[in-house]
Structure 1
Amino acid sequence: MGDPSDVTIWHNPRCSKSRGALELLGELGVEPAVVRYLEAAPSRAQLEDVLRRLGTDDPRTITRTGERLYRELGLADADRDALLDALAEHPALIERPIVLRGDRAVVARPPERVRDLIV
């Protein structure tokens, strides 16, 4: 199973999916580092790192495209740089939860996707 101590979750306690992923991690014997990304917005470099760990270059993979703010900011046609800047400035647009372990990550929607990293 590897070392479960190197797990981090970008968590929003108001989100049922995020709470579910955190609970599932606990059931798997993992006590992750919890980052409340809405309170401590990730930097652009951290966002780039998450994309690398997810195995993608597309920031829409971690973007809540259904949010009103996404439409208000006109991000549907935004290029990669503009989208990353918007995510760093408006962390509410970041999909949740994101679980990181080592050099890999998952967007835990549904929460059971954390098993891909842990089991």
Structure 2
Amino acid sequence: MLTLYHNPRCSKSRACLKLLQDASIPVNIVDYIREGLSLTLLKRFADTLSLEAILRKNEALYKELNLEGADNKTILEAIAAHPQLMQRPIAVLGEEMILARPPEKILELVNE
């Protein structure tokens, strides 16, 4: 089953979820803002997608925490403490993982 790391306040994340629901694709929804993210999971995201891809540098919090030039461990710990720093939505299907931006990218994953 596809797992979607979802932020209900994000328009891209909501659009991605709607595409899945409209296609009647079963999905396990993880509201990572509410549930949090483990360092192990974040490291997997970073290893597969790249740390650069999953980090939201445009968040004010990124600047407040002075993350520019920080090492990977510090950045992953910051995302774990402040999940809004993670780019979304991230979809995982078996061993495959994508950052579903634009949202339509999710259909490529489920149609493979």
Question: TM-score, normalised to structure 2's length?
Answer: 0.92
Match of 1:38, SS state, is: helix
Question: Which residue number in structure 1 is paired with residue 61 of structure 2?
Answer: 69
> What residue ranges of structure 2 are gaps of 5+ in the alignment?
none
After TM superposition, the structure 1 = structure 2 runs for residues 42-53 of structure 1, keeping only pairs within 5 Å, are 42-52=37-47
What's the CA shift for 1:13? 1.0
CA distance in 2, matches of 1:73, 1:50: 21
Q: Does 1:18 align with 2:10?
A: no
Unmatched tracts of structure 1, length 5 or more: 1-5
- Answering whether residue 83 of structure 2 is matched by residue 91 of structure 1, we say yes
Large movers: runs of 4+ above 3 Å: none
- What is the Cα-based RMSD across aligned positions, in Å? 1.2
In 1, the alpha carbon distance for the partners of 2:57 and 2:90 equals 16
Identity of aligned residues (%): 39
User: Take 1:7 and 1:118, find their aligned partners in 2: how far apart are those partners?
Assistant: 8
Matches within 5 A, 1:93-108: 93-108=85-100
Q: TM-score, normalised by structure 1?
A: 0.87
CA distance in 2, matches of 1:103, 1:50: 11
